[in-house]
Amino acid sequence: MTIHREGYKSIAIGALVFAVINLGSFYFISAHLAWLSGIIFVLTLGLLLFLISFFRIPSSKKTTGDNLIICPADGKVVVIEEMVDEEYFKGKRLQVSIFMSPANVHQNLNGMSGEIVYNQYHKGKYLVAWHPKSSTENERHSIVIRNSHGEILQKQIAGALARRIVNYLHVGQKVEQSTEMGFIKFGSRVDVLLPVGTKVLVEIGQAVQGGVTPLAQWG
């Protein structure tokens, strides 16, 4: 397991706050209320460990396959439905959405190899990630990957707690399947828009692993 670079600053600040709080607790509280000082230590240590775990990147063998589209994020499948995309395709698409809780890994990956032909950041609201309108009204960042099979759109969507979306890609860039697309801090969702008729390999409510679980298959 490694720590994502987006976490270095947050973890350093968290460790400093942990140290300051517990040093203060030791000098001013522990002599008279040792039990309270102990509780403060346990709670702050738990928060620091949670912060570290949030930025973890576990070691895993990535799944690849020219005819496969791989899940771009860890989490739970919450939507599989046809919709009309007004942003890029201007027509019907099959949407698969993965909700990431704060306990999930928040690195986002490329579902297939190809060329980035679209990359756009959108300002927006911070509705809860499972809200039906979060896909179109929340802060979000969309990219489209194109290869010989076709095009897919991957959309990083902010939520009520997610206040920072990071995307590392640019138009014209060639990407490999299951490599890094970006990162979302503190819980949200990723939508994948597929051509209608694409064979979906996941189900509603299924727990999936980014870069590992096959999401769909080209015909």
Give the SS3 label for residue 189.
strand
- Catalytic, 188? Answer yes
Q: Which of 113, 134, 178, 188 is catalytic?
A: 188
Give the SS3 label for residue 186.
coil
Contacts of 109 (CB under 8 A, 6+ apart): 70, 71, 72, 73, 178, 179, 180, 181, 210, 211
Q: What does 89-125 look like in DSSP terms, one character per residue?
A: T-EEEEEEEEEE-TTS--EEE-SS-EEEEEEEEE--B
| 72 closest CA partner among 183, 159, 161 | 183
Would you state the structure tokens that stand for residue 210, as one six-digit string? 């980014």
- What residues act catalytically? 188
